[in-house]
Structure 1
Amino acid sequence: MPATPHPRITVWHDGGCPLCAREIALMRRLDRRGAIRFVDATDPHSSCPLDRQAILARFHAMEDGQLLSGAAAFAAMWRAIPLLRPLGLLARNPWCLAMLERGYLAFLLVRPRLQRWLASR
């Protein structure tokens, strides 16, 4: 499929996080249509819609002009990738999104340890 003329979603990620870097690399490979604009929020020249620390503390995405964070941002990114689109659409269900957000909050608790572990490898 040809690339879209303009990405329909923007994702801000922590380019200094080894865990994030791996995940974003996978998402870039899956985004064959170029529907996502990936922005490294650690780059001082990148533009961020919020304070840089807030952007780095949680995953953020902009979909259709709406800034999303956490599980909602992941779901928006998934909707832009054909292979993951069914998961993203399922996350439009409030109950499902609430469960994903709970899982994301639990992940944030262990994220620093996972980052240290990956950085030491």
Structure 2
Amino acid sequence: MNEVVVWYDGACPLCRREIGLMRRLDRRGALTFIDVAEPGAAEACPLDPAELLSRFHVREDGQILSGAAAFAAMWRAIPLLRPLGLMARNRNVLALLEALYARFLKVRPRLQQWFRAPPSRT
């Protein structure tokens, strides 16, 4: 199995949590994570940093994927999630996942604020 390169927004608390989970699940080290928010990291990325930050991107077998297809590629590299990634190879399943991802992107800014909010003291 080829290595999968994952570009993520390390300045996003929501993204950091998700990538943290993927790191823990990636016991074989099949994923390489690149924090686009780190100084100098964007220069090593094949896409414009703004594009990388607007949607989730990975490189699998030399092909750059984004959105639901990128998540599916990442899942295929993790044994526990591999069945989900394989199911997403079906174009109907991938279309459904992409529609859900598009909806998620609309609420993502609010979710990021929620994850950034300091805990309330009562």
Aligned-residue offset at 1:25: 0.1
- The structure with the largest alpha-carbon Rg is 2
Which of residues 96, 104, 114 in structure 1 aligns to 2:93? 96
Q: 2:39 matched to 1:44?
A: yes
State how far apart, in whole Å, the 1-side matches of 2:93 and 2:55 are: 19
Name the counterpart of 2:80: 83
Name the counterpart of 2:103: 106
Aligned-residue offset at 1:49: 1.0
Name the counterpart of 1:22: 17
Q: Residue deviations 1:33-74, cap 9 Å, x none?
A: 000000001112111110000000000000000000000000
Count residues with an aligned counterpart: 116
Q: TM-score, normalised by structure 1?
A: 0.93
RMSD: 1.1
Q: TM-score, normalised by structure 2?
A: 0.92
Structure 2 stretches lacking a partner, 5+ long: none
